[in-house]
Structure 1
Amino acid sequence: GIIFGAGPIGLLTMLAAHRAGMTDITVADIAPAPLAFATKLGASHVENVGGGEEGLKAQAASRPYDVAFEVSGTAAGLASAIGIVRRGGVVVQIGNLPGGQIPTPSNAVMAKEIDLRGSFRFGFEFATAVELISNGSIDVLSLVTAERPLSTAPDALRLALDRSQSVKVVLTAN
């Protein structure tokens, strides 16, 4: 499978996919630092698509993707997921897309007979996530790249916004 987006939700999606038995996972993103972190957490392959998707297309030609998770929350990510998944494959939209009309390659969904699914994190998935965290099946703390005291919140938030420096920043009591 492939996951578009190596932010915190994409990385958690990867951990959940591993937990569900998916052994060959590619993570695609436009930034190198999150991709390096995905490798550290166990991604089989990473692909920087900031300059285009030639590498992904070549990889998919020899090893088609059965499932693609769109986690980036971008129209381009959804179009890429639809374009890269094999005929009859599944695309799961997890990322929240911007409001308004979003161009979607609907003819590709039809022609490739893709199963396009939505997944809203506040549905039944939330209870499952809490259970997996509480029983230790998923280690969410592995995503924490920095802890900062609450008194330094403005600096901590700037750090959290810098994808080249952090994945998740946790504020502590001091």
Structure 2
Amino acid sequence: MSMNISATMKAAVMTEPRRIVTEERPIPELNDDEVLVKVMAVGVCGSDVHYYEHGRIGDAAVEYPMILGHECAGEVVAAGKSVSRVSPGDRVAIEPQTTCGRCPACKSGKYNLCPEVVFFATPPIDGAFAQYVKAREDFLFPIPDHLSYEEASLVEPFSVGIHAANRTGLKPGNTVAIMGMGPVGLLAVVAAKAYGASRIYVTDLEPVRLEAAKKLGATHAINVREQDAVETIKTLNGGLGVDVAWETAGNPKALQSALLSLRRGGKLAIVGLPIQAEIPLNVHFMTNHEVDIYGVFRYADTYPAGIEILASGIADVNSLITDRYPLERTQEAMDRALHNKSGSLKVIVYPNG
């Protein structure tokens, strides 16, 4: 099953730090259970920017040349002979990973922890800044006609917020603090709203991000250049800490503030990945308040809910898209995301025009 496609495609290839060129690459060949997708929109993620700038994240080092990009959606154009869930012409969001399905993590439903996971744009795996990608059929999810490809690409970062909500058991009526209003933090606001949080406190340094958070559903926005996050949250929350706090910026001070903003018995999710592996935290506070701490690594089984929530129109996530670039200008897109944090929210690349 396939549409008429050529043997080669254009791809934006990173050849060294801060250098991306457009090359011709072979169209990926499909196994029986795989699907070829014409990529229509790819969001630039913070991890893409980090690989672009530094060439590594922790132990993961780029092997040049490499294709970045993993927040993606597109149209099915070909399918392997055993594929039954999707057909050419279907519009899909792509969960950008493949897991083994056999290990203890996969069998327990925590497939994001699969030691054999293959994840787009994580060295040495190429990503989605290309006209076509292939994916196993069980990691493709049809999207309704009224959900744009751009919105569908946002299901990937949105999934991180859904996973944080699931991990911390966020319930209707809970109060939540979210530290860091990058794209993941902003979409975490939407997740908190969808899960019924009564008050959503957000913090950041940039006014444009705080304004965006309020448009998406944050009830209180705190500029940490002007106010102390912990004191302000407790004052606004009747002198109490919040039920749940998520740190989404990968910033040591933000993580410390997230912890200290909790009520007794509160729950902390560490979502952001800081440069340094070790950060001082107040152990006395953790024990005296009997705080639960959750690590958040990507997500598992979030795409159906993510698509349904975004398709419901609960928030205008299109307002997050501030910059748009064709594939040939992917390097400009990366530079924009790297250098314009005070103005850009989500940068989108369009591999097929």
Indicate the TM-score class for this superposition, using the shorter chain for normalisation. 0.7 to 0.9
Q: 2:341 aligns with which of 163, 169, 172?
A: 163
Cα distance in 1 between the residues matched to 2:307 and 2:278: 39
**Alignment partner, residue 131 of structure 1:** 304
Q: 2:235 aligns with which of 50, 58, 70?
A: 58
Deviations 1:50-105 (A, max 9, x none): 24514334324535311111111111111101111111111111111223322121
Q: CA deviation at 1:43?
A: 0.9
Q: Does the 8 A contact of 1:33 with 1:163 survive in 2?
A: no
Q: Does the 8 A contact of 1:33 with 1:165 survive in 2?
A: yes
Pairing of 1:41-80 with structure 2 (within 5 A): 41-53=216-228, 54-80=231-257
The runs of 5 or more residues in structure 2 that have no matched partner are 1-175, 312-316
Question: Is the aligned partner of 1:111 residue 2:281?
Answer: no
SS of the equivalent of 2:310 reads: coil
Q: 2:204 aligns with which of 29, 37, 54?
A: 29
Q: CA deviation at 1:168?
A: 0.8
Q: CA deviation at 1:44?
A: 0.7
Deviations 1:26-49 (A, max 9, x none): 111122111111112121110001
Letter in 1 for 2:347: V
Bigger Cα displacement from structure 2, 113-122 vs 78-87:
113-122
Cα distance in 2 between the residues matched to 1:103 and 1:61: 28
**Alignment partner, residue 181 of structure 2:** 6
Q: How many residues align?
A: 169
Deviations 1:133-165 (A, max 9, x none): 333x12654432221222333332222221211
Change (3 A) 1:99 1:64: closer
| Rg larger for | 2
Runs of 4+ in 1 over 4 A off after TM superposition: 139-142
Q: Does the 8 A contact of 2:178 with 2:247 survive in 1?
A: yes
Letter in 1 for 2:196: G
The runs of 5 or more residues in structure 1 that have no matched partner are none
What is the TM-score when the length of structure 2 is the normalising length? Answer: 0.45
Bigger Cα displacement from structure 2, 26-35 vs 145-154:
145-154
Letter in 2 for 1:7: G
Give the % identical residues.
35
Cα distance in 1 between the residues matched to 2:218 and 2:264: 24
Q: 1:85 aligns with which of 243, 262, 265?
A: 262
Deviations 1:111-140 (A, max 9, x none): 121111112114x2xx21x212333x1265
Cα distance in 2 between the residues matched to 1:40 and 1:52: 21
Cα distance in 2 between the residues matched to 1:147 and 1:24: 33
What is the TM-score when the length of structure 1 is the normalising length? Answer: 0.86
Letter in 1 for 2:257: S
Cα distance in 1 between the residues matched to 2:234 and 2:240: 10
Change (3 A) 1:133 1:112: closer
SS of the equivalent of 1:78 reads: helix
Cα distance in 2 between the residues matched to 1:63 and 1:111: 15
SS of the equivalent of 2:190 reads: helix
